[in-house]
Amino acid sequence: MSLTGKQKRHLRSLGNALQPVVRLGKDGVDEGVVRAVDVALERHELIKVKLGSGADEDRHEAAEFLATQTKSDVAQVMGGTILLYRRHPKEPKITLPGP
Tell me the pLDDT of the chain (99 aa) as tens digits: 689 999 999 999 999 999 999 998 888 888 999 999 999 999 999 999 999 887 788 999 999 999 999 999 999 999 999 999 999 999 999 999 986
pLDDT at 63: 95
Beta strands in 31-90 (DSSP E): 46-51, 73-78, 81-85
CATH placement of domain 5-85: 3.30.110.60
User: What ranges do the domains of the chain cover?
Assistant: 5-85
Question: For residues 8 and 76, is the Cβ–Cβ distance under 8 A?
Answer: yes
Could you tell me the pTM of the whole model? 0.93
β-pairing, 46-51 with 20-24?
parallel
By 3-state DSSP, what share of the chain in percent is helix, strand and coil, each rounded to 5? 35, 20, 40
The Cβ-side half-sphere exposure at 98, using a 13 Å CA radius, reads 0
pLDDT at 1: 64
Q: CA-to-CA distance for 85 and 11, rounded, in angstroms?
A: 8
pLDDT at 61: 93
